[in-house]
Structure 1
Amino acid sequence: MSRVYKAIIGAADKFVPAKLRPLWEHDAGPKTIFFWAPAFKWALVMASIDDYRRPLDKVSTTQSATLAATGLIWTRYCLVIKPINYSLSLCNFMLGVANGVQCYRAYSYQKKMGIVV
């Protein structure tokens, strides 16, 4: 870990209440990448949901299908690594669902318009 990160964690450590100590000290808690990876990956889920406002003729079914597949594949992986990362698993699952819905919407639109047979 970098010295800056250690200094920030050390300073914050003094202010964590006793009730939150188990979460703070957890193997997948805020002191580790296991916490921060899903925290930032939620932005990808939000962007996928925001794409629902995009016109369906501009949506890439390939991109949506790829993101859906990777989200669901990584959901499983998050449940077999140690420590088990439920937060990242939920984030990946939601990424898979959000993009699966988007892929279905785009495919249905293309089928209706006669683009896909």
Structure 2
Amino acid sequence: MATILRRLVTSTLLPTRLARFGLAGTAAATGRQLCTKAAAPPPPPPAAEPGVVQRIASKVASEFAEANSSPVKRFGFFGACCNWFLGGSAVYDASQKGAEVISLPMTCVMLCYSSLFARWAGWAVAPRNYVLAGSHIFNVIAQSNQLRRVLEYKLQHGGEAAKKEITELATKAATGAAIVTGLVIAGPAIQRVVAPIGPAFLSSAGGPFTIHPWPPVTKILISGTSMLEYDKPTEKISLSQYSALTLTGLIFSQYGLVVSPINYPLTSVNVLLFASSLWHLGRKVKADYM
């Protein structure tokens, strides 16, 4: 009954009254609006995307939480933590020792090593390892300060021999940088030429035209530099630096054996790093404490 009365009022009385005010043309529409349901509320706005700092903090927290969940993550996590000692040793030496004990070749190699590893761990690899990337960024900063100190010292006190050493090293560094830059620029073109006729590794995601195989190569450079300085005076050996290098080589040599598939090249370069660093560490301990 109520429905009938509402329809009657809508269809007869309301149009009549609206006509008195010149609104008769809207009567039918008004009647329809009276029976229309209310519109649904708009959906809530999407949640804001986390910022860069939040994403990094979340990833670091997960790395800490999962550090002991498997042998791979255990060795990878503790190896990344040990890398912080490399930058820490440079900071310690800068605060406690004079610039005369700094090895210019080793400092340059360490800069190259950590620059590549920071790029690889923080941007190229998936999932990104921010603990490892942070340790190498820290080491780049610390070694840059050591480079500044040793250059200033040699230029002030080394005479012509030191200037010649710096010039030769700068020439080698500039030549190497030019070669690397040229290869990076020409890399895609070279890859297109050699990939169809060469092994599949050349065009793979971890092949030589990517950054992935090159960070371990820099560990060979560290070992080679240590071997070239095998008879350096023990008073110029940094106990903290070679302790950090020895520990890093030991842990990552094990890491290469627990990943799947086993990474024998990674293990090999770290065994070499461990042995060459342990040699200098043993000489330093024997000279100072035995």
Tell me if TM exceeds 0.5: yes
CA shift, 1:93, in A, is: 1.2
Deviations, residues 33-66 of structure 1 (Å, cap 9, x unaligned): 3311122332111222233232112212232122
Which aligned pairs between 1:96-107 and structure 2 lie closer than 5 A?
96-107=274-285
CA shift, 1:30, in A, is: 1.4
Task: Return 5+ residue gaps in structure 1 as ranges.
Answer: 111-115
CA shift, 1:70, in A, is: 0.6
Asked whether the 8 Å contact 2:191–2:202 carries over to 1, the reply is: no
Asked whether the 8 Å contact 1:34–1:85 carries over to 2, the reply is: no
Asked whether the 8 Å contact 1:67–1:95 carries over to 2, the reply is: yes
2:256 maps to 1:78 = yes
Deviations, residues 3-31 of structure 1 (Å, cap 9, x unaligned): x959623533423584x504425664314
Distance 2:254 2:243 in 1: 17
Distance 2:193 2:280 in 1: 45
Asked whether the 8 Å contact 2:191–2:203 carries over to 1, the reply is: no
2:225 maps to 1:44 = no
Per the alignment, in what secondary structure is the counterpart of residue 30 of structure 1? coil
State the aligned residue count. Answer: 109
2:241 maps to 1:89 = no
CA separation of 1:98 and 1:74: change in aligned 2, threshold 3 A: same
The structure, 1 or 2, with the larger RCO (C-alpha pairs under 8 Å, 6+ apart) is 1
Which residue identity does 1:69 align to in structure 2? L
2:207 maps to 1:29 = yes
Which residue identity does 1:105 align to in structure 2? R
CA shift, 1:84, in A, is: 3.7
Higher alpha-carbon deviation: 25-34 or 85-94 = 25-34
CA separation of 1:50 and 1:40: change in aligned 2, threshold 3 A: same
Distance 2:258 2:209 in 1: 21
CA shift, 1:32, in A, is: 3.8
2:188 maps to 1:9 = yes
Distance 1:32 1:80 in 2: 24
Which residue identity does 1:59 align to in structure 2? I
Identity percentage of aligned residues: 28
CA separation of 1:78 and 1:32: change in aligned 2, threshold 3 A: farther
Q: How big is the alpha-carbon RMSD for the aligned residues of Structure 1 and Structure 2? A: 3.0
TM-score w.r.t. the length of structure 1 is 0.70
Distance 2:185 2:259 in 1: 25
